[in-house]
Homo-oligomer: A and B are copies of this chain.
Amino acid sequence: MVLGVRLYSALYPSWGPVCLLPRSFASCSGNPASCCTMPRLGLLHGRAWAVLFGQLRRPPGAVCIGAVHSHSQVAEAALATQLKPHQEKSNFIIKTPKGTRDLSPQQMVVREKIIDMVVSCFKRHGAKGLDTPAFELKEMLTEKYGEDSGLIYDLKDQGGELLSLRYDLTVPFARYLAMNKVKKMKRYHVGNVWRRESPTIVQGRYREFCQCDFDIAGQFDPMIPDAECLKIMCEILSGLQLGDFLIKVNDRRILDGIFAVCGVPESKFHAICSSVDKLDKMSWKDVRHEMVAKKGLAAEIADRIGDYVQCHGGVSLVEQMFQDPRLSQNKQALEGLGDLKLLFEYLTLFGIAEKISFDLSLARGLDYYTGVIYEAVLLQPPAHAEEEPLNVGSVAAGGRYDGLVGMFDPKGHKVPCVGLSIGVERIFSIVEQRMKTFGENIRTTETQVFVATPQKNFLQERLKLIAELWDAGLKAELMYKNNPKLLTQLHYCENMGIPLVVIIGGHYTGKSCG
């Protein structure tokens, strides 16, 4: 039925990726162009004919039925039904679990593009892929997440091992390294993690969400892998065109040093650290109140902390802290400051230093960080020129965790690690929101050709033809009806944005062409 899709593409490359010929072409004349420049339907003397239309440049005179490729209304209608299922059935039991959602075809397309872009960046930096099970032995996850451990999903004890769903991709990676005695590895991992958080759907936070992680394990010279992690974050955030962003950097040792020189008792380091971590959402006044009223810290100690953690700046702030009379007495803080200085040197070589801010308020919630920590935030241009850009939320974060692998190793052998995690769910919401604002439509299928007929009893011919298209590697669809209406078929093409239609008919008894 179809004569040499490849042959014809070669003959008429300007016609685009797909060209179809009537079955009768070979026996009709030597010149395919004359055969196809038929002035009306069914001109050919064979049993079947083909009409090409859509995005192609057509040969002069070729028949065009209907305008294909404006599929705005239908896509919108589909979006409307598929994006908001939750509101409609409050009296039905049928729903997804709290804090989770189905991903519609539209969302899947956006997601695929973003993840492809992130993964290609990870591969550009030489990372290998790795996957770990969705659940771990419960004990693997205990004592790794500090205050957040209560958010871990446990599986029911149905006999056998006690299991928990993974809470992040970092702890399973550390478990993998220790279990396989791997001392050096650069890997990426894209996968879902689960946290029993109170979901605030509007902000793009779910109980099941996807993380894209990149980590470098191994003993290397200081700050080189750390700088690469920050470079990767910059490449991804620039590549996704999410607008202006800033990466806050700090070091756990500097924070600990600050707490020490300010007089925080060591037993309160963790508690005070998580208060500091709230400075991106709360004012210093409120954080100070929490420290003093809830965590029992002396007011003057809190004030001393406040002098430090409200500072942020570039590499000059690092120098300034080196000169700080109190902090420069603390060994840990000095180590952290030394590393940050080196880090800024490398970031300058990478051409990204202006995207980085040394921010003493950055604390990061997770327990396992031991050195440099960082968090990327998107900036919104301020409404008024004199204002600072708005922080519209964290989209990537990470840091150094040199002790985590050792927690799994029976002999405590350490494997230093540094890594980052891209908060793709947040990015999905931003991109979806942007597409909605700009009224962009998304094709949810990639179909290139639709096989249609205006005639009855043509199912057999359609099935034979489409099998040839599939076997030639073409993306093709037809209507699952014995005798569909031509208009219905063309309407489907228009709705789905299918650029090509082959219309077959037959038993025409008129004159030959040419």
Contact = CB atoms under 8 A, between A and B. Distances in A.
A438 interface: no
B154 A129 contact: no
A460 interface: yes
A153 B160 contact: no
Contacts of A103: 129-132
Contacts of A45: none
A474 B475 CA distance: 31
Given A94-B175, A97-B135, A126 B156 contact: no
A459 B235 CA distance: 21
Interface stretch (A263-271, A284-292, A346-354): A346-354
Contacts of A126: 445, 447, 475-477
Interface string A442-456: 001111000000000
Contacts of A125: 470, 475-477
Given A156-B154, A350-B463, A96 B129 contact: no
Contacts of A176: 102
Given A156-B156, A157-B156, A133 B96 contact: yes
A247 to B, nearest CB: 16
Contacts of A231: 467, 470
Interface string A147-180: 0000001111110110101000000000110111
A425 interface: no
B351 A89 contact: no
A467 B155 contact: no
A112 B350 CA distance: 31
A220 interface: yes
Interface in A337-371: 346, 349-351
A124 B94 contact: no
A82 interface: yes
A96 B132 CA distance: 8
Contacts of A467: 231, 349-351
Interface string A86-129: 00010011111110111111001101100000000001111111
Contacts of A349: 460, 463-464, 467
A129 B218 CA distance: 38
A53 interface: no
A182 B445 contact: no
Interface string A467-481: 100110111110011
Given A103-B131, A105-B129, 11 more contacts: A81-B182, A104-B130, A124-B473, A124-B476, A126-B447, A126-B475, A153-B158, A155-B155, A155-B165, A158-B196, A235-B470
